[in-house]
Structure 1
Amino acid sequence: MLTKEILLKNFSDEDAKEAIKVYENYRLAYEKDITIFTSSFCSPNIWSFFEKYCNKNSLLIETNGIFDESERRMISFNNPYKLDYPINIIEVINKSNFSKLEHKDYLGAILSLGIERNKIGDIVVKENRAYFPIIEEISSYVLSNLNCIGRSPVETKILDDLNMIPSVNFEELIINISSLRLDNIVAKISNISRAKALELLESSKVLVDYVKTKDKSQELLKGSRVTIRGKGKYIIGEIIGETRSGKKRVIIKKYI
């Protein structure tokens, strides 16, 4: 069984509080042999750690963020009978014909109701609608109180048909790069100098497969997910050839 001491060695001080809360869920499910769901949507470095290092035959650990490639996910411990996650999906419809709402508008309006950020998952915006998973027990509060965003009236409802959930869209880019070192990739896809890329790495603003890293020389593989705070989220695709100067031509998928 994972110990708290080993757990804390894998997390910074800023992430330790969240990690310990999840650890208590893990420990209770393990010791009592019961199903436990986290009471929040965990950040990617938290859920990926438990999914990767604590998933044993004796204790099944799974995650769910509703959307494909979700960053924020609820964790289930010891759920062999596939009980439903205590999650609702809320659809928010912008009823205004004169204003276009963006991701930040929806998020700001939800948080202004006093909802903690970890009680909702990722927000996906499609045209005049937004969709987000929320902890089941507080969904009715949001339905009752989220009536407008700025000056735009909105309608909210629980989305029962999961087939109506939109998929994530990507913008496909092709970059030419000398190597798949992390600092090279960050500089290229962010359109900044390598010096600025190193600053992002040193300030812990870069995540590879949802884990913060400062290793500038790390070689990325096809399928690696790179999140750059303030810049975007990307998936490393295939190498499709080389330029005359010997640089690799790499497909990059950017989340939009």
Structure 2
Amino acid sequence: MADLYSHFHPDEHRFVDKAQEWIARAVEQHAVKLTDFLDPRQAFIVQSLANREGDVQVRFDGGYEQAERKRAIVAPAYRDIDEEEPGIGLLCITSDDTKFTQLDHGDFLGSLLGVGIKRDKLGDIHVGDGACHCLIASEMIDYVHLHLQQVHRAHVQTEMLPLDRLQAALPSLETMGLTVASLRLDGIVSDVYRLSRAKVLQPIKSGRCKVNWKPEEDPSKPLKEGDVVSFQGFGRFKLLEVEGETKKGRVRLKIGKFV
């Protein structure tokens, strides 16, 4: 087990234990486990652990093809899990309030959590022009439908819809160009959010930054194309492209900020 832990950040050890238990129960007790919604890093951990054990299989489902957050079905290898229900419901939130159009992802997430459910029970949240479509664990969707009456200061109505009526709002990226001295995490974060290097160092060291959903406490970690960085309180960005060096030896980058 100590060798297993060496592959994961200390903050992830509790989840590793939980995932290892799901897999052990599938192998030893022939149990089928439907997990809560997992972020991409958690899904990677589950799949990695399953790959180490030959007698187990995992299927991920987030309600639609491009889902970021997904539930997992962990089962013995012999079990046919293609027809297993992933336990995902769709809640449509609308409002006649003019303030509704000004609400963003964080407003909806905060209000959903405010009715008393855990983040693990929520999948992706899609904010559209006239409605917000939320993927919710089916065992909690009736509760949310009953209790969610306000988002921020806008009164709302909710309706449960079949999954095939999902209006997915794929993430939009606001692109920006940067020139940096190196690909160090702290330097790029400070430039993207226009903060001094000193102001990003401590938050990174204290675990408030993630690279590809994994906690990263090393400010000097080099980033690479495709990396997704989240900085607590400021949002997320993706390193889209390393475009080469300037004549002065600085590195040109194309960054996409999630909006």
- Quickly name the TM-score band, shorter chain normalised: 0.7 to 0.9
Distance 2:106 2:127 in 1: 10
Equivalent residue runs for 1:98-177 within 5 Å:
98-99=99-100, 100-149=102-151, 150-161=153-164, 164-177=167-180
Q: Is the 8 A contact 1:91 1:132 kept in 2?
A: yes
Give the corresponding residue for 1:29.
26
Q: Is the 8 A contact 1:241 1:249 kept in 2?
A: yes
Distance 1:42 1:172 in 2: 28
Q: Is the 8 A contact 1:94 1:101 kept in 2?
A: no
**Which letter maps to 1:185?**
I
1:116 and 1:182, CA in 2 relative to 1: closer, same or farther beyond 3 A? same
Give the corresponding residue for 1:249.
252
Give the corresponding residue for 1:224.
227
Deviation at 1:105, TM superposition (A): 2.8
Deviations 1:192-212 (A, max 9, x none): 122222212111011111111
Distance 1:4 1:154 in 2: 50
Matched position secondary structure for 2:156: strand
Matched position secondary structure for 2:51: coil
Deviations 1:118-151 (A, max 9, x none): 2112323223322222111121222233233334
Deviations 1:15-54 (A, max 9, x none): 555443333222212223443211x223554333222343
Q: Is the 8 A contact 2:93 2:156 kept in 1?
A: no
Distance 2:154 2:242 in 1: 47
**Which letter maps to 2:161?**
I
Q: Percent identity?
A: 24
Q: Is the 8 A contact 1:122 1:132 kept in 2?
A: yes
**Which letter maps to 2:8?**
N
1:235 and 1:132, CA in 2 relative to 1: closer, same or farther beyond 3 A? same
Deviation at 1:252, TM superposition (A): 1.1
Distance 1:20 1:158 in 2: 35
Q: Is the 8 A contact 2:213 2:229 kept in 1?
A: yes
Matched position secondary structure for 1:188: helix
**TM-score of the superposition, structure 1-length normalised?**
0.83
Query: Is residue 2:50 matched to residue 1:49?
Result: no
Equivalent residue pairs, number: 251
Matched position secondary structure for 2:60: strand
1:52 and 1:208, CA in 2 relative to 1: closer, same or farther beyond 3 A? farther
1:9 and 1:242, CA in 2 relative to 1: closer, same or farther beyond 3 A? closer
**Which letter maps to 1:73?**
K
Could you tell me which runs of 5 or more consecutive residues in structure 2 were left unpaired when the two chains were aligned: none
1:84 and 1:190, CA in 2 relative to 1: closer, same or farther beyond 3 A? same
Could you tell me which runs of 5 or more consecutive residues in structure 1 were left unpaired when the two chains were aligned: none
Matched position secondary structure for 1:89: strand
